[in-house]
Each structure stands twice: as C-alpha cells, then as structure tokens.
Structure 1
Amino acid sequence: MRFLPIFLDLQAGPVLLVGAGDLARAKLRLLVAAGAHVRWYVNDGQHDVSGLNAAELARIERVDGNPLAADLSGVVAVLCAGAGEIGPAMSARAKAIGLPVNVMDDLSHSTFVFPAVVDRGDVVVAVGTGGTSPVVARRVRERIEAALPARIGELASFIGRWRKSIHSRIPEFSLRRRFWERVVDGSIGALVLAGRTDEAEAALKDIRDASAFAGAQATGKPEGSVALVGAGPGDPDLLTIRALRALQDADVVFYDELVSPEVLDRARRDAVRIPVGRRVGKPGIGQAAINELMIEAARAGQRAVRLKGGDPFVFGRGGEEVDALRQAGVAYSVVPGISAALGAAAQFEVPLTFRREALRITFLTAHKARDAETVDWSTLTDEKMTVVVYMGLTAASSIRAGLLAAGRSPQTPVGVFARVTRPEAEGVVGTLDALPDLVDKIAGGPAILIIGDVVARSASFRDSNLNQIVSELMDAAE
C-alpha cells in the first residue's frame, strides 16, 4: 500500500484548483459536493460552471492570473487537472510548504490520489488502486454501491446523535462497542435502514439497562466467548461470511502457523494477535496451554478467535478444544472452513469423487513416518477409493511402501499439492511408485497427497502424460 487512505476536512480552508476543460470541471463538481470552498485558476480563461446550482456556485471563487504566484496560506490542498505544464511547477510549490497536492495522471508529482467514492452521507467509502487503474477502482465501487444499504449514512448519523449519551452510561470501551454492535445488527438498526427512524429512536430510549443490553455480566464485564474459525487453505477470498464477522468482532486472535498473512489481515485492526501454532519439526506451544489461553480470554470478557488453517474439525484438534471449553463453561461457536483437500481439488481440478469410478474418500494424516507405519493400509486398496493424506511429505516413502505392500497398483495416479489456493501454489502428478520422487520436486509445504484414479482426470496429469509421450517419441526417433 503506497497511498494511505485519509479523509481531508475540505471545509477547513480553501482548495486551490488549477486547470481547465472537462477534467477540471469534473474535479470541481466533486469538490463542491464535499462542501469545499474552491479557489479556481483556469489556464484557458474559460470558467465554465454550467450545471451547478446556486449553493454550489457560492463555494467557487473564480480567479484570473498566474497560479504560480497564488497565495497558498491557509490552503488545504492543491489540485491540478488539465493544467498542462503548470502542474509540475504547482506541485513543487505545494511540496515546498508541505501541502497535499494532486496532479491528475501524474503520480510522480502527486502526494495523494483521488479514490473512487461511495457517498452515503456520513458513510463514505473510498476505493483506490494507487493511481494505477481508475477503471478497476470504479468497478469495485459499483459492487460496493450495490451491496451497501441506501440509508447506511442515516444509521451512522443516528448513532452519532446518541454517542455522548451512551458513553456516559457505559464508560467501558469494550462493553460500549458491543452495545453499538447489537444496535447496528439488531432490530433498532433495521428500523433505521427501513426509514423508520422515529421508531428506532423510541426503541433506543426504552433501553433502561444499557450494560445488560450490551451483554454485561454481573461483574460489569462483557460476556466472553471463543469462536473456533476455519481459515481455509490460504486464499482470504475463501473465508466464509461468518468467519469474516468473527474476525472483525474479535478482541484477540490465537492463530496457527499455517494461517496466511492475508487471512490474518482480515481481523479487526486493534485485535491482539497471538501465534500459538507450530510446524512439523519445530517447537511450539502445547495444546493444553492453548486451551488455557482461550479460557482465560473468555473469562476476562474478551471475544477470542481460535483461527485454524483449513477446517477446525479436520485434523485441527477442534474437538479437543471444544471439550476443554465445555468443561470450563465457556461459550463457544464453530465456524467451518474449506479444508486443504477441497482447496487442492478445486485448484488442480481433481474430482475427489466420480460416478462409477471413485465412490469413497478417506482422509488421514501421516506427518511422521512412524505414524504412517501404524496405518492399516489393507483398508485403502480399493480402486474406487480416493485417499487424501494430510502432512504426508516426510512420510511419502512409508506411504508408498504401505500401499504397494497391501496390493494397491504402482500405477495408481498420485498428486502432491503444496500451498494450495495461494499465489505460490504448486502441484506435481505421477504414479504411486514414484511418490517420493514427486515429493522431492515440491519446494516445501504445507502439502497434501491425493491418491486414486481421479487424479488422472486433472489437467496436470493429462499434461504430464502428454509430455511423457512426446519425450518417449523423441527418444525413439533419435
């Protein structure tokens, strides 16, 4: 992020606009809509203000003369649109005294850029692309426009009118935040969004015990809870809506090593983030200590999120954590996530089941060779069974040996898929007898193995076989 989004108070002083033509007029309309007083220098002598109403015209000061000699004292910002060669010179003047400056379509001479704006009164959403693609910003804005309720600004204004009153009744910040969350997410917020503000005002006035409404305990602390949240295999766009809400509501996030930074960035900015996971072969905090951290956070009135790679209940020890939370009498919820197996299957086009071809799926974990040796491989030899192995990189040789000894064909298609759904994802495919060699081609985990005929239906397997056939034909020709 090169440009930090900020909101300027354009009513704190005049804005200097330099330029002419349609580009300058477009900026002029945007500025007066924000309530700015605009001091407008044109470089073609034409102050065309057609289309503006009387109130907007009153905020425009049309100035003749050289803008390079303009008095910049008290000016909030400088904008150049359609200013030609004057733009860089005005930029130098503004920068010399620390004024924000934008020269349209010229990032090198700009200290800020204009975002695409969604305006809902007191709710304003700014979408930026760092000045690289205004069209992309507009497309994002269009989607936000469609998703936001028309009266969301009225809801913000409604809350603003009550803030001081509620602040005096609920001095504790965390409890006050929960009070407003219940207002926004509940029936009162729905009334405002439906245009029934008078009823919403009456409903808020009827709340006698604001702390109880916010969910305070007898001690005056808010009620704590724990959400076990599946982070999925890495792509933040695969988080569920419930997972996003839990992350945005969290006071503290206990996250695994496998949770990607992009997913963790979806948590509330001021949430405390505590790493509690570990990778294979590395020391880490024990499960009992993790359980105790979650319980302590909930008993302190915090909303804790236990953020896990994949799904909490697929080799994520979610069941153990639920048992601990139950015994401690702590409120909890479970938010499922997309498991790595499903992420790999989708990304690399491996159908885990296929009619009359793959009728069953078995998921197992074998992150250590000795664990692999304890598996009853005879139950996994059915040709119509897809076997998915989590954390199987270090046990690849034992997995191959176990399946071959039990009678699975050495030509069974196999895929090794690492860091699935992430930009650096990679996969290699081949056959069971070559499994250790396939693993050696992967540049580290986390990774899963998919074993079964369905792997042959992936585009990667077809391409691999085609390359092999071409190579053999070329060798024969030589």
Structure 2
Amino acid sequence: MQYLPVFLDLKTGPVLLVGAGELVRAKLRVLLAAGARIRWFATDGNVDLAGLRDDHGQIQCVDGDPLSTDLAGVIAVLCAGAGDIGVAMSARARAVGLPVNVMDDLTHSSFIFPAIVDRGDVVVAIGTGGTSPVVARRVRERIEALLPARIGELASFIGEFRKTINPVIAEMPLRRRFWERIVDGPIGTLVLAGRKAEAEAALHGIGDPTAYAGADQAGRSEGHVTLVGAGPGDPDLLTIKALRALQDADVVYYDELVTPEILDRIRRDASRVPVGRRVGKPGIGQDAVNKLLIDAAREGKRAVRLKGGDCFVFGRGGEEVDALRKAGVSYAIVPGITAGLGAAAQFEVPLTFRSKALRITFLTAHKERDAEAVDWSVLTDTKMTVVVYMGMTAAPAVRAGLLAAGRSPQTPVGVFAKVTRADAQAAVGTLDQLPDLVARIDGGPAILIIGDVVAHSAPWRQQNLSRVIAQLLEPA
C-alpha cells in the first residue's frame, strides 16, 4: 500500500486552491460537497461560479500572488490547471509541512485524490496509487451500482440511536450483534426503502435491547422473505436490488427456469433449494413452497424466492404474498424483466408501435386445454400484440383459436426461445405456420409473439433479406 487512505475534516480550516479552467472547477465541486472553506486563486483571473452550488459562501476568490499569501491556518493546498505555479506552490507547502496535491503530478504531491462514492454519511474512497484514475473510476462505478442509494441514511439512522441504545447493552459482542440485527433485518430494510418513520417505530418497539441482541445464535429472531424476479436468463439483467438480496440470503428457493449463471450470483454459503416444477414431474406444489418460505422466516432466516422472469407475471408471486401476509411474515418484492420484454429487446420486436400496435395482451397457454379456455374473440384486433407464455406445446390450439375467431392467417408471428441467453433462438413467419415454426426451435422455454410488430423484428428482416438474396442468385 503506497498511500494511506485518510478522511480529512475540511471544516477545520480553509483549503488553498490554485488553478483555472475546468480542472479547477472539478476540484471546487468536490470541495464544496465536503463542506470545505476554499480560498481560490484563479490563475487566469476568471472566477465565474456559474453551475457551482456555493449556497453557504464557502468560496473566497482571492487576488494576488498565491506564492506570497499567508498560509496560517490553511489545512491543505490543491493545484489544478495551475501550470508552473503548481510546482512552486508544492515546494512552499512542503516547506511548512502542509499536505499538497498537484493534479496529475505525483512527484510534487504529498497526497492524492481518490475516486469517491458519496452516500452521505457513507463515503467510499478508491485509489490506484495515482497510476490509473480510469481504473479507479471503473471500480467506483461498480461500487456505486452495488451500494443501496440510502445506505448513508441507514448509517445516519444508527448514529441517531447509538447514544440511547449502547449504554443499555453492556457487553460489546451483544451490542455489535444488536446493530447487525438492525442493519440486516426488517428495520434496516425499512430505512433503505425510505420508510424511516416505520423503522423508528419498530426500533422504539424493542422492549429489551439486550434480549433482542441475544435472541438466537444467528443474531436474528425475525426472518424475512424477498420475492426476486430473476429475469429471462442473462445474469447481467438482474437488478441491483436482486443482486443485493441474493448476497444477503441465508436460503434461496429457486425455480427450474433460473439459469446456472444466475444461481452463481447467490452468496456462496447460502442454502439453495430447488422448488420448481421439472418437465414431466409435478413438483412439490404451491402450498409446500409457501410453507417453506414461512418456516424459513419463522426460523429467523433471510429467505429469497427466486423466480424466472418477474414474480407477478405468471409467477404465482401473488399467491405467495397472500400466504406470507396471512402468516404475519415480513416480505419484500424485487421485480424482474419478464420474458416478453427480454425477447422484445433481444430480437428487436417493438411490442407497441405508433398507429400500428396500440395494445398488448399477455397470456399463458402451457397446455392445449389452457389455449382452449382462452376467449380468442377479444384478441382479434390487428392493433393488438399478443404475447403467449409457455405456448410451444399449445401452439396448434393457439393458431386454431385465433383463426376461428377471425385473425388473419397472414398475421406475423414469432417463436422466441431461451431469450437473452447465448443459445437464444427465433423462428418467424405467419400465424398459419405457427406449429411449423415451433418445430424449428430446439427446446424451450419459449414465448410466442403474435401481431404486425413481428414484421419489424430483426429475424423477420434477416429472413426477408435472405429470401431476396436467394432470388437474385437463382439462374435466369
């Protein structure tokens, strides 16, 4: 470690800033965010403060020669866009023992600026020893994505109650366990969700903090269930909240459609329990799944119910929420990208199109009898896109129902399988060809998209291009 990360309280004295241009303005924004009092020597004479939020008069623009200014009380010297003056200021600052940073000049700097993640009371600094600011920024972007937006509010929330709670819990291990329970449990979840008043009420409702801290060996007495939509298959499409839930989980109950790549994002020491229905097998049943979730929560575990796509789009998430609510179990819901939207994005199928497709209907037809139960007469509008989930087996019945209801046999349709995955497939054609299109697909899961919008898709354009090329190559 070449540099020691240190957090400097910039409110203890003024910072001397020397420089000009956009480089110095970038430093001004950082210093203002940290609450610093700034003496700014603009080396080009331009002291325009437009776009800088100096609401408290933190910036003092100083005329004259910075090399002869009084340094009494100054806590640090910064130079950005200062040219040769930066080198001279560095020598002067070092001579009196002041920390100095000359931007992009390690030789004349005694400290460097890290890339910063600012979440209020939570601040993360990332450094590369000044060798690669671009790498530091990339690391910062990853951390920015992973940290909850309100993590600073959670730290502030704990800070408000520490003086009240800590004297009540004499033993340090129990005190630490108490705050771990607050951070990792339902109270922390409420703060991160922006429900601070409810979190305060829950914390005030803890009768005996010592007993609460020692409730069980895991340090939790209240469990929590998070329903997480895993999306259609690509792990990069998981939301940040979904990743966070998978990393926090003690146990994950997952469906058959969840891909191995997504399961790899689960915390390594979390239990993984498959509960999905496998092809040709009945599965354990919804009531049994509900019981597993409730039992896990009552054991004090953080449980995740991981579903392919979105929990509330043919995912039975509503049934599970009802069961959890009736059992008095704390729960949260994290949406996922449903397969219809995944297919639309990957294969460029605009599910709506101005003046051409004004409505979308999502339905499921896993078996032929499911398709026969659909009222196809309400789905014949040519300006309606129909998205059928789990429709490969029932494709002949889907075609028959739409044709009998009056939909044109020339309506464009597409069969899109394993969407967003590397082995995704597509077959496009017309409604009267639907069963043949399904036969061209090498296994599911797949969805059917029916409507004129399919003619705007990438596979449709490619198919037409191939047909034109074949015609041009035919012998005269």
For normalisation by structure 2, the TM-score amounts to: 0.60
Q: Which residue of 2 aligns with 1:417?
A: 416
**SS of 1:292 mapped into structure 2:** helix
| Residues 327 and 350 (structure 1), Cα distance of their counterparts in 2 relative to 1, 3 Å cut | same
| Residues 472 and 370 (structure 1), Cα distance of their counterparts in 2 relative to 1, 3 Å cut | farther
Q: CA deviation at 1:263?
A: 1.9
Matches of 2:273 and 2:180 in 1, distance apart?
A: 22
Q: Which residue of 2 aligns with 1:25?
A: none
| Residues 211 and 271 (structure 1), Cα distance of their counterparts in 2 relative to 1, 3 Å cut | farther
Matches of 1:227 and 1:256 in 2, distance apart?
A: 14
Among all aligned residue pairs of Structure 1 and Structure 2, give the percentage whose two residues are the same amino acid. 64
Q: CA deviation at 1:310?
A: 0.7
Q: Which residue of 2 aligns with 1:18?
A: none
**SS of 1:178 mapped into structure 2:** helix
Q: Which residue of 2 aligns with 1:316?
A: 315
- 8 Å CA contact 1:278–1:285 kept in 2: the answer is yes
Q: Counterpart amino acid of 1:314?
A: V
Matches of 1:326 and 1:185 in 2, distance apart?
A: 17
| Residues 225 and 420 (structure 1), Cα distance of their counterparts in 2 relative to 1, 3 Å cut | same
Q: Which residue of 2 aligns with 1:169?
A: 174
Alignment of 1:233-382 (within 5 A): 233-382=232-381
Matches of 1:250 and 1:242 in 2, distance apart?
A: 12
Matches of 1:264 and 1:165 in 2, distance apart?
A: 41
| Residues 212 and 165 (structure 1), Cα distance of their counterparts in 2 relative to 1, 3 Å cut | closer
Alignment of 1:206-217 (within 5 A): 210-211=209-210
Alignment of 1:174-213 (within 5 A): 177-181=180-184, 210-211=209-210
Q: CA deviation at 1:223?
A: 0.9
Matches of 1:223 and 1:242 in 2, distance apart?
A: 21
- 8 Å CA contact 1:179–1:214 kept in 2: the answer is no
**SS of 1:226 mapped into structure 2:** strand
Q: For each residue in 1:332-391, what CA deviation from the matched residue of structure 2 results, as whole angstroms up to 9, or x when unmatched?
A: 222211111011111111111111111111111111112112222221111011000000
Matches of 1:146 and 1:242 in 2, distance apart?
A: 13
- 8 Å CA contact 1:215–1:223 kept in 2: the answer is no
Q: CA deviation at 1:215?
A: 11
Matches of 1:472 and 1:368 in 2, distance apart?
A: 39
**SS of 2:226 mapped into structure 1:** strand
In the TM superposition, structure 1's runs of 4+ consecutive aligned residues that sit over 6 Å from their partners are 31-34, 117-120, 122-127, 134-139, 145-149, 182-187, 212-215
Matches of 2:324 and 2:143 in 1, distance apart?
A: 41
| Residues 322 and 457 (structure 1), Cα distance of their counterparts in 2 relative to 1, 3 Å cut | same
Q: Counterpart amino acid of 1:143?
A: E
Q: CA deviation at 1:248?
A: 2.2
Matches of 2:134 and 2:439 in 1, distance apart?
A: 40
RMSD: 4.2
- 8 Å CA contact 1:254–1:276 kept in 2: the answer is yes
Q: Counterpart amino acid of 2:458?
A: A
**SS of 1:267 mapped into structure 2:** coil
Count of equivalent residues: 338
Alignment of 1:373-412 (within 5 A): 373-412=372-411
- 8 Å CA contact 1:250–1:303 kept in 2: the answer is yes
Matches of 1:126 and 1:165 in 2, distance apart?
A: 38
| Residues 416 and 222 (structure 1), Cα distance of their counterparts in 2 relative to 1, 3 Å cut | same
Q: CA deviation at 1:211?
A: 5.0
**SS of 1:305 mapped into structure 2:** strand
Alignment of 1:25-40 (within 5 A): none
2:139 to 141, 156, 179: 141
- 8 Å CA contact 2:221–2:300 kept in 1: the answer is yes
**Please, which runs of 5 or more residues in structure 2 have no aligned partner?**
6-93, 95-113, 118-122, 192-205
Q: Which residue of 1 aligns with 2:227?
A: 228
Q: For each residue in 1:392-414, what CA deviation from the matched residue of structure 2 results, as whole angstroms up to 9, or x when unmatched?
A: 11111111122122211111111
Matches of 2:306 and 2:439 in 1, distance apart?
A: 30
| Residues 334 and 474 (structure 1), Cα distance of their counterparts in 2 relative to 1, 3 Å cut | same
- 8 Å CA contact 1:118–1:144 kept in 2: the answer is no
| Residues 208 and 286 (structure 1), Cα distance of their counterparts in 2 relative to 1, 3 Å cut | closer
Matches of 2:190 and 2:313 in 1, distance apart?
A: 33
Matches of 2:383 and 2:329 in 1, distance apart?
A: 43
| Residues 470 and 226 (structure 1), Cα distance of their counterparts in 2 relative to 1, 3 Å cut | same
Alignment of 1:15-94 (within 5 A): none
- 8 Å CA contact 2:252–2:270 kept in 1: the answer is yes
**SS of 2:343 mapped into structure 1:** helix
Matches of 2:326 and 2:214 in 1, distance apart?
A: 22
Q: CA deviation at 1:141?
A: 2.9
Q: Which residue of 1 aligns with 2:24?
A: none
Q: Counterpart amino acid of 2:181?
A: R
Q: CA deviation at 1:323?
A: 1.7
- 8 Å CA contact 1:216–1:223 kept in 2: the answer is no
- 8 Å CA contact 2:231–2:338 kept in 1: the answer is yes
Q: Which residue of 1 aligns with 2:429?
A: 430
Q: CA deviation at 1:262?
A: 2.1
Matches of 1:248 and 1:166 in 2, distance apart?
A: 29
Matches of 2:127 and 2:314 in 1, distance apart?
A: 40
Q: Counterpart amino acid of 2:401?
A: G
Stretch deviating more after TM superposition (301-310 or 418-427): 418-427
**SS of 1:322 mapped into structure 2:** helix
Matches of 2:341 and 2:419 in 1, distance apart?
A: 9
